[in-house]
Chains A and B, each alone.
Chain A
Amino acid sequence: MEALEALADPTRRRIVELLADGERSAGEIAAEFETSRPGVSRHLRVLREHGLVQAREEAQRRIYSLDPAPLAELDAWLDRYRRFWPNRLDALDTEITRRRRERR
């Protein structure tokens, strides 16, 4: 799950959150972090490579925006777990009760 790999970093998650509110320039993004500018650029590159953000040039600035498609894909992927586990945990409850009743 590519999007999930890209999100396995707190700085990158924060960048995605910022861009969810609207596009930002590279400078505006970097200003949000104590990390060095090259460090932030590295994170932005990872996010671009995983398709989570897009960049365009405007005058002298590079403007980043969120690509919602991978996040929708991530949501669908997470849905497998969301449907699997609650059912299993319900079944575990049933099994605990069944064992208890069987012992009486």
Chain B
Amino acid sequence: MSDQVATLRAEEEQVGLRFERRYDATPDEVWAALTEPESIRRWLLAEAVLEPRVGGAFSLDWSADDRADGTVRASEPPRILEADWPAQPAHPPGGIASDALAHEGPA
């Protein structure tokens, strides 16, 4: 785990907070942790359904009164995953965007 950046970003008509983190892991490792329901339960603390295709579902259940129906925006396994969920009364909106680069060492 290394750098963490939290910026207040303003892009065109949107204003929001963006948090960036780099992980010392392979693209496959990051992809699995982001998309396997038992992993999502551990780090996002929600029961999740994630369909890893553009337009696929990204449903999150934090509790009975706290759930969100989100959408997968980009999916190019194992490197790219983007998904977000809208605001609801119990939970702010949010999303994830992963762009994993593989660094090959010498053979």
A71 contacts B by Cβ under 8 Å: no
Bin the interface of chain B by size.
Answer: 20 to 34
**CB pair B32 A99 closer than 8 Å:** yes
Q: How far is the CA of A2 from the CA of B8 in the complex (A)?
A: 16
A7-B15, A8-B13 known; A93 vs B92 contact (CB < 8 Å):
no
Q: Taking the complex as formed, is A82 at the interface, i.e. its CB lies under 8 A from any CB of chain B?
A: yes
CA distance in complex: A90, B23 (Å): 10
Report if B75 contacts A (CB, 8 A).
no
Q: Is the CB of A85 within 8 A of B39?
A: no
Residue in B30, B45, B92 whose CB lies within 8 Å of A96: B30
Closest to A98 in B: B42
Residue of B nearest to A5 (CB): B15
A38 touches B (CB below 8 Å): no
In the bound assembly, the distance between CA atoms of A90 and B44 in angstroms comes to 10
In chain B between 16 and 36, which residues have their CB closer than 8 angstroms to a CB of chain A?
17, 19, 21, 23, 25, 29-30, 32-34
Residues in chain A near residue B15, CB distance under 8 A: 4, 7-8
* Contact (Cβ within 8 A) B33 A86: no
Q: What residues of chain A have their CB less than 8 Å away from a CB belonging to chain B?
A: 4, 7-10, 13, 78, 80-82, 84-86, 88-96, 98-100
15 contacts between A and B (CB under 8 A): A7-B15, A8-B14, A9-B13, A88-B44, A88-B45, A90-B1, A91-B43, A91-B45, A92-B33, A93-B1, A95-B39, A95-B42, A96-B23, A99-B39, A100-B29
The 9 closest A-B pairs by CB, nearest first: A91-B43, A92-B43, A85-B19, A93-B1, A89-B21, A95-B43, A81-B17, A96-B33, A95-B42
